[in-house]
A and B are shown apart, each in its own frame.
Chain A
């Protein structure tokens, strides 16, 4: 032992030995480093080779096929199959409708048995032999081998991608190689398409039920990559979208009639309007863009929501009793019963695709494309997602005809309303009825409390624009001036102000008075029976995740694996570069909502305004909490139920239809349409559908481009009004992100608030519980409109710069002042 120690000591003192030992250590370290690199490389190679390392496993609810493909009716045809060259054949008939189909011509004809009105799945060509004065034949368009002919006559439009990274194409099914089999089924036909080149099979079912034409696309009938399921997913064809009978109800330019769409407040597309040249098809996703996919560098000024999955086609015989192809006045009201989460409304006008038609239809998106740009300045690819996002689809079109009655968009809206009521009952078990609304105050005063400066400020304190004490004094003053029935809604009351980080713990900012003052304010409000609501941002993370939330577990990811940024629109119409994000709905559901509700209740809150739930639906590709839009909607509904159970009044923004059964109030309800050139005229479509079921307020009037017009429009549309006010000067907000206001200081607005309060109290509030029974332009060429409520009261609104006199239906002359309104009480009775 002693000897060994000696040797060690000797070796330790030997410089050569030490060098050798150091070299040995270096070698070992080098070896280890090399081994680590090799391991990493091998891992990457293996991972890349096997792929799908970051596979996102979506839940299946809402996208699974519930319905089986309809079985062939073997009593008809050859064992249920229709001959390929079979001409027009009646495939279904009931006491109201008769549906015929020509397998050879791909033509469906629907006949109303009462009036004889015919509806074709594509417009009849103008033949040389039937030319009327001023007409030219367009038979060439229908040529079987022409692109237009194949397109128009296609019963289905198919969106597909060939490589998965080409951005996709949409063609009529007849433009592509396919094998079609038509099966007789109960009440109609099932068309089955096999498209070998696209490795795709799908079925669409077209039937009649009572007075409705029904399209169904069972998801179980869609088979992709048959026999190739286990092959590598990349660079193979995939189904992107389907549209059924897209040219059903298509019209030529100059014909009487119009399309009715729920864009924004609602809009008409008239067939007889001299149209500004437009080659851009109207295309809008129902319930708004999907932030996860529709990422844009600049805000879209045509972004008003499509909140209801419906459209209408109105056609009336003109004054001299003539209208091409029409035997009677008619409306077709299409309504999505299933598949609304991923529906997209399309409207074409003559000129688009070199076709002379107006066409309207829903496209059902099974997949979306996302942008992939790996390096800055590199090529950007439009990549398709792998998973299908949509389950069964069912669209029902009600046919209404009359030889005597003239129809309008009001009839379409009423039909949509009854469809929605039925849908809410079926989906959610909620029965709404007229009179459900009407309890909300006359005016919604949004009191903006404060926000932090963009940079600095004194120790990043919130810029206090209104505090809790101000809220009280503002109300008291307005009350003393005669405006007492007010709804007070507090914005930006949270710690940090308006741009509160939604992942953080909900607290009241001390600079407004803190939690105790808020509680006092609520006690005061409850004592005076004032509706006081707290505005809540639920899902936008202004800042980085905190309070246990991490990017990985809480932030919405795009399909390209990047976290979804949330950009704020700048005053100058561009997006600002901000590090804001969107919270995954699942994370909110699992981690935050219960605590949030408890805290709100602890503050004494009994009314809440909820952001996002009524106006913002998106997908989430975060591996931790993936969601399709349909699942996001389910969560929203669940939350609305929860909030509804805990608070007196729950308000949502904008008013997507799925939110209405649980929302007591809609705030910022649009009263304008988008500016797309295919939309000709604004109509109160949404209002006719929702009036009497839910109270709604238009957006704050004091920052509208034309306040006088906006006020009249609110009155015309039966909309309660809003103001957004601050106690401090508006300019105090100019260095915050909330810098879009230019007119909000209470002291300068109070007189006009009272004035408008009186107008709304007189012309809107008394009718809030009623249905809107009619709405029309009183005189052609003049901007005088009439809104009629179900008790017969009529509200006339004159936008003209001069006083106008009209005669009411009962013969009474009514004079309406310039840019004013007049109420004709129960004039209809």
Chain B
């Protein structure tokens, strides 16, 4: 028990406005970012924390009912399209009610001309005019900043609009030229561009039709007449629009596949990081099967784009270059969770506002120290203030050790400062092969500059040594004759490689000898295949970071790689034996599998040097790497051809036919496998389900 406390505040050293716990040790949602490579989720400290939830319950006008849209002006005033209550409500920056607009003030047949299902609201930054998409009345209404009617634009008329044109404006925005942009419900022609007088100008940013493979095929094969009666695929429609200060129009669309979000320039073209797929792989690869629905987009003061997903309650922030800065939020009914987000806005303080439809409230998130650091560092970087940026990025890395944007940007700054090795380390940590390649190029140039003479000397010395060894060998042979070879383990290995290289050098004779002179052996076959499998695994690890595409060594699956090395050999041999049996080939199965193994000679011998080569090359020389790889492949394929020809004793033309038939057979086997696998999986699933049912019933 205690008595009332008589402690009072004596001195307030600063004005404090907070009324509750201003920070929380824990955010009730996931905080992460999506790494560009592989689009996987990586952990970060919270970027935004819940600042408050504006419920409007205590305002004199009562609660919002199924609101659909929200706008925040430069002064921080909040305008809400309170759709269910047929009004626009305006709140001050302190979230207090200012006024509402429920009609345009005119009378029609003695009744006030009320708003009906207003679903969009926009405020003109120039004069504070409130422009409303009065969806239920099929009109755009413009009010003064005090809520008095200025204009009402009813259904536009134009020759460009079809006769059965239906007009139900949903969202509205305006550009700096005074043009209005309106999304019309169900209108797949694009965003309607209206003049400042409400006259229709044209459709803007028209979406493309997303055809599936079969739809494209049908379109290709069937005439328009034939396709009559079938379902017509229309372009997807727009769900929300936002015009940014720099003249771009951001829009969300109904499509679940790219482009879910568009950034459209003045000419109507998409300029948003190519066909970026905004789906969050980390969510979609879990138990969830339902696609995300991006329902609104906004841009903050740093020109970062924020989009909100209605399905999972996630908010994603991207910078101008398309880097995902943060992802956060979750669907739910807790404090700071999103129940049914429909609109997202930001204010001048960097706070993010999300309007929830079903609960009729606004969840306000404020950036944390981490988010502020990232924003400032990124802004400095974009402005070319690299020194300032570096300091901020280093603080970011302190808070989140492997935040890749920070690592990449630090790397780039280091690269500019010619700390190439350090830069490479940062790119390596960020798993960014492209930038790592640039750093490596500089490092290589530095190395060559510093050690060129040593390299030349080394090469010359090595060449001289090689010449000397060869000369001595020749001399000794001349003098003492060919030395008698002793039989031991090393000579056995030497002979093994001799046989492999012999076939590589003389494939025509080599493969014939396998068939007709019983050359080759099962032992050789096993040795070659196992060595090849081992080399495959080692090559995977030995390939440089740059040529692995930035993939970590931790992502390599050595066991799978090892066994996968046997797969092509096995399939080709079986198919080839089948084909050649029909085609009267003379080769036995023994010859086919042994010959097939010998075909792996080049891969077995050259894969490692090929992988080692990647440590000398940058991505700029990827052409060389590609050509060498192609040559290696061609060499191997040529050996397969000579193997077929030699082992089965075919005429070259017939050998080619059999070769092609084998290739077709391999494709057929793979397809068959996939089909059988699919059916077997279904069958297996059926048995499992049946078993479960039986277990449960019994």
Interface set of A (CB-CB < 8 Å, partner B): 44, 47-48, 53-54, 274-278, 280, 297-298, 301-302, 372, 374-376, 402, 405-408, 410-411, 453, 455-460, 463, 560-562, 570-577, 671-672, 674-677, 681-682, 703-707, 709-710, 713, 729-731, 734-736, 739-745, 748, 774, 776, 778-779, 781-783, 786, 799-809, 813
Contact = CB atoms under 8 A, between A and B. Distances in A.
Given A374-B689, A577-B286, A804 B12 contact: yes
B57 A277 contact: yes
B31 A705 contact: yes
B49 A301 contact: no
A277 B46 contact: no
28 contacts: A48-B698, A53-B698, A275-B57, A277-B55, A277-B63, A277-B359, A297-B288, A301-B28, A406-B2, A457-B558, A562-B692, A571-B30, A572-B283, A573-B330, A574-B286, A574-B288, A675-B28, A705-B31, A709-B23, A735-B552, A740-B43, A743-B400, A744-B401, A776-B5, A779-B9, A781-B18, A783-B20, A802-B13
Contact of A805 (B10, B19, B44, B327): B10
Contact of A456 (B14, B18, B28, B559): B559
A413 to B, nearest CB: 12
Given A407-B1, A739-B43, 10 more contacts: A276-B53, A301-B337, A453-B554, A457-B553, A457-B554, A570-B41, A705-B26, A713-B25, A799-B21, A804-B12
Contacts of B689: 374-376
Nearest to B23: A709
B231 interface: no
Nearest to A740: B43
Interface in B1-60: 1-14, 16, 18-32, 41-46, 49, 53, 55, 57-58
A735 B398 contact: no
A280 B541 contact: no
B282 interface: yes
A705 B23 CA distance: 10
A302 B286 contact: no
Contacts of B543: none
A561 B53 CA distance: 43
B696 interface: yes
Contacts of A456: 554-560
B401 A276 contact: no
Given A275-B57, A799-B23, A572 B30 contact: yes
B225 interface: no
B7 A809 contact: yes
B2 A408 contact: yes
Given A54-B695, A410-B2, A730 B402 contact: yes
Interface in B675-698: 685, 689, 692-698
B283 A574 contact: yes
B46 A705 contact: yes
A781 B19 contact: yes
Contacts of B42: 571, 734, 739, 742
Contacts of A706: 23-25, 45-46, 49, 368
A620 B24 CA distance: 37
Contact of B29 (A278, A301, A406, A778): A301
Contacts of A734: 42, 402, 552, 554
Contact of A783 (B2, B22, B41, B685): B22
Contacts of A460: 559
B402 A675 contact: no
A507 to B, nearest CB: 22
A781 B280 CA distance: 41
Given A572-B30, A706-B25, A276 B57 contact: yes
B432 to A, nearest CB: 13
B335 interface: yes
B399 interface: yes
B332 interface: yes
Contacts, number: 261
B349 interface: no
Contacts of A675: 28, 334-337
Contacts of B557: 455-456
B360 interface: yes
Nearest to B6: A809
A121 to B, nearest CB: 26
A805 B697 CA distance: 71
A561 B400 contact: no
A298 B398 contact: no
A657 B3 CA distance: 30
A813 B698 contact: no
B524 interface: no
B199 interface: no
B429 interface: yes
A406 B337 contact: no
A730 B401 contact: yes
Contacts of B13: 802-805
Going nearest first, the 5 A-B pairs with the smallest beta carbon separation are A573-B30, A675-B334, A705-B46, A456-B557, A675-B28
Contact of B18 (A672, A741, A783, A806): A783
B23 A676 contact: no
Contacts of A709: 23-25
Given A374-B689, A713-B25, A745 B41 contact: no
A743 B401 contact: yes
A739 B559 CA distance: 23
B401 A459 contact: no
Contacts of B58: 274
A729 B342 CA distance: 40
Contacts of B32: 571-573
B335 A778 contact: no
Contacts of A802: 12-14, 16
Which of A455, A681, A741: most chain B Cβ within 10 A? Answer: A455
Contacts of B7: 778-779, 786, 806-809
B489 interface: no
B558 A799 contact: no
A676 B334 contact: yes
Contacts of A799: 21-23
Nearest to A679: B335
Contact of A813 (B10, B12, B429): B10
B173 interface: no
A748 B282 contact: no
B490 interface: no
Given A54-B695, A783-B18, A799-B23, A742 B1 contact: no
B287 interface: yes
Which of B58, B285, B334: most chain A Cβ within 10 A? Answer: B334
A681 B26 CA distance: 14
Contacts of A453: 554-555
